[in-house]
Amino acid sequence: MHKSSPDFNLSVRQVFKWTVCVLLLPLFVHAADYVTVNQAGYLPDHPKQAFVTSAADSFHLIDQSSSQIVHRGALTQRTALDPATGMNVWEADFSAWGVPGTYVVSVPGIGKSHAFAISNAAFTSLAKASLKAFYYQRCGMDLSPLHAGIYTHPKCHMQDGTLHSATGESGTVKSAGGWHDAGDYGKYVVNAGVTVGTLLLACELFPERFAADNLRIKESGNGIPDLLDEVQYELRWLLTMQKADGSVYHKLTRENFAPFIMPQKDTEKRYLMPVSSTATADFAAMMAQAGRLYRTASAAFADSCLAAAEKAWTWLEANPTIVPAGGFKNPTGVATGEYGDGNDRDERLWAAAELWRTTSDSKYETYYLANYQSQNLFQSEMSWGNVAPLAHLAYLFSPQGTGDTAAKQNLHAKLQQFAANMLTQADGSGFRVLLKPGEYNWGSNSRPLNRAILLILAARRGGSAQFESAALDQLHYVMGRNGLNFCFVTGTNAFSMKNPHHRPSAADGIKDPVPGMLSGGPNQYLQDDLMKRTFTASTPPALCFLDHVDSYASNEIAINWNAPLVFVAGYFAADTTATGVEKKEAVPETFGLRQNYPNPFNASTTIPFSLDQPGRIKLEFFNIHGELIDSRELGVRAAGEHGYTWQPNLPSSIYYCRLSVENQTALYSDIKKMVLVR
């Protein structure tokens, strides 16, 4: 998210590399008619659609291995003049076909889509690559061929860092390590906040989905999830940014951006910039999270993180208004990323929520409850400048039996309303993306992915099954099912981003960029010179994108954009239920929905379940698209074994049953797949 120096030199291979969209004429709406798909693929039992940008009657699904048509269908018009692209969009729905394989969608008179897989492992490589991208961003260590492959380079920036004169201090602080923030080599505490917060949230809420220890990073195989290992590398650097009084330096950068050179060749002096309350509060929240999540792996490290968090909070208490006044601004002569924010109340709220979760100290909960209703009650998604949603999620997903019941009910209702609003917004988009004109800003691709996280969590807490389907649509968008027919993630296929604004990828002499990185995406505000020369205010917002190293406003990468990609891709990569219908809370050991019998069934089937305590029972039945097709309120049932006989008047297909149990302390659910054969 940082403008580069205008006087860098580019290699021959970097010049004149443009997107396949050929958006060189500012008034040209789109380059051609095409069939867009998620180029990674689709899960067998999830909804599957392609979009077509010109009128036609029908489509064919073709198995690449045999060249045979395996499915036919009619196209339906989705939108006329999609507001973000100006395109007329038709939909090809092949959800009924779930046989694993490699396919293309062919539309007579239009053409064929890129090839894609239908597989339960469709997103496995993406999930691994998006997390491994953080390893490639490591600062201060050798990236060895064993772990980095061809993207190896020696350790860098080992002299970090010198105290800038604006701090009022002199000397140096040993502050090597951490992640390079984006396409530049700076390290920024505020942007680390939402990044670390998102990654640790994924691991805390879905530990089984982020448990992999085989990513081929230096720490792989140590028995600790690689996600936690990778985040710990950043946390250890963050600890060096805290002063003795508890405050935290805002960032560590040069005074100006480095030219396009490899990191080990960037030897200019790098400075710790003045402290800020936004950085300090973000730091407190991250360290409080770490105090919980690393306790099993390393109690000593968890203790050090928690102590640092409480020390930061003490400083925040002593400095109750924003520091510096008006928010952080770059000192005179400094032109690197500012991450300026004139409001630190959301950061303080997040710190309080995480510290309460970790310590159970009532003073932190008191602060949260006194302030939470004025801080973005799920009115928008999280971002580096607005971490209030992370505060609310920390409180809402606190263990059962803790927290204020009324506050949790309020948060739950607001999250469900946000998710419902997102469904309405998706319905108005030709490509089902949660972006509308005005929202295609710098880093726009991160917005639908962060919204997808909230949709997933709303579904987990008993919301509509369509919430998860809408969340998956956002992954489809960044992976190629969009108005550009372009995959925004490096290294995923032949039609993905090739020329990111990313210094190592431009300077390493390797044809392909570092893999697994998410492009910032379309930027209707045209905030770099190349975009201004290429587009005008008349260019549809979703088409304002260039796959060119000079387009830092549309094609840079950043750690805070990759974090929600890790969350969403990892969530669906490990999806074993293969549906948009999910459990609402962790299921207690003595609660259970048993497999129906018989299964497959013809006219009727019995659904057994057990309860560890009395509760109000609800059974919901969903089709393969995640749409609710039947519901049964069974009233309050006593603890023990129970059953319900279902006699649907439905066609042969796969269906899902969700059992929800509400009692005095919590809401639980579980889900099973059933097969009806007529």
CATH number of the domain at 666, please. Answer: 2.60.40.2550
Q: What is the pLDDT of residue 641?
A: 81
- Position 1 in a domain: no
pTM here is 0.84
Q: Which residue has the tokens 């990828």?
A: 505
Taking the CA atoms of 21, 24, 26 and 27 in sequence, report the sign of the dihedral they define.
Answer: negative
- Cβ atoms of residues 291 and 303 within 8 Å: yes
Is there a single domain that holds both residue 84 and residue 67?
A: yes
Domain boundary among 71, 89, 120: 120
Q: What is the pLDDT of residue 6?
A: 33
- Position 7 in a domain: no
Q: What is the pLDDT of residue 660?
A: 86
Domain that holds residue 134: 124-399+408-496+546-573
Q: What is the pLDDT of residue 590?
A: 53
Q: What is the pLDDT of residue 576?
A: 43
Q: How many angstroms separate the CA atoms of 657 and 297, rounded?
A: 37
Q: Which residues pair with 360 in a beta bridge?
A: none
Is there a single domain that holds both residue 569 and residue 598?
A: no
Q: How many angstroms separate the CA atoms of 343 and 349, rounded?
A: 11
- Position 518 in a domain: no
Is there a single domain that holds both residue 46 and residue 187?
A: no
Tokens representing residue 328 in the block = 């952080």
Q: What is the pLDDT of residue 591?
A: 63
Q: Which residues of 93-114 are buried (b: 16+ CB within 10 A; e: fewer)?
A: bbbebbeebebbbbbeebeebb
Low-confidence ranges of the chain (pLDDT < 50): 1-30, 576-589
Q: What is the pLDDT of residue 116?
A: 97
Is there a single domain that holds both residue 255 and residue 389?
A: yes
Is there a single domain that holds both residue 111 and residue 146?
A: no
Q: What is the pLDDT of residue 16?
A: 30
Is there a single domain that holds both residue 565 and residue 602?
A: no
Is there a single domain that holds both residue 351 and residue 412?
A: yes
Is there a single domain that holds both residue 251 and residue 287?
A: yes
Q: Which residues of 562-600 are buried (b: 16+ CB within 10 A; e: fewer)?
A: bbbbbbbbbbbbbbeebbbbbbbbebeeebbbbebeeee
Q: What is the pLDDT of residue 575?
A: 62
Is there a single domain that holds both residue 482 and residue 424?
A: yes
Q: How many angstroms separate the CA atoms of 37 and 51, rounded?
A: 7
Active site residues: 184, 501, 547, 556
Q: What is the pLDDT of residue 574?
A: 81
Closest by CA to 240, choosing from 161, 134, 329, 137, is: 161
Is there a single domain that holds both residue 167 and residue 257?
A: yes
Amino acid code (one letter) for 247? S
- Position 160 in a domain: yes
Is there a single domain that holds both residue 82 and residue 151?
A: no
CA dihedral 236, 238, 242, 248 (to 10 degrees): -170
- Position 515 in a domain: no
Number of structural domains the chain divides into = 3
* Separation of CA 28 from chain center: 31
Domain boundary among 80, 100, 120: 120
CA dihedral 637, 639, 645, 646 (to 10 degrees): 70
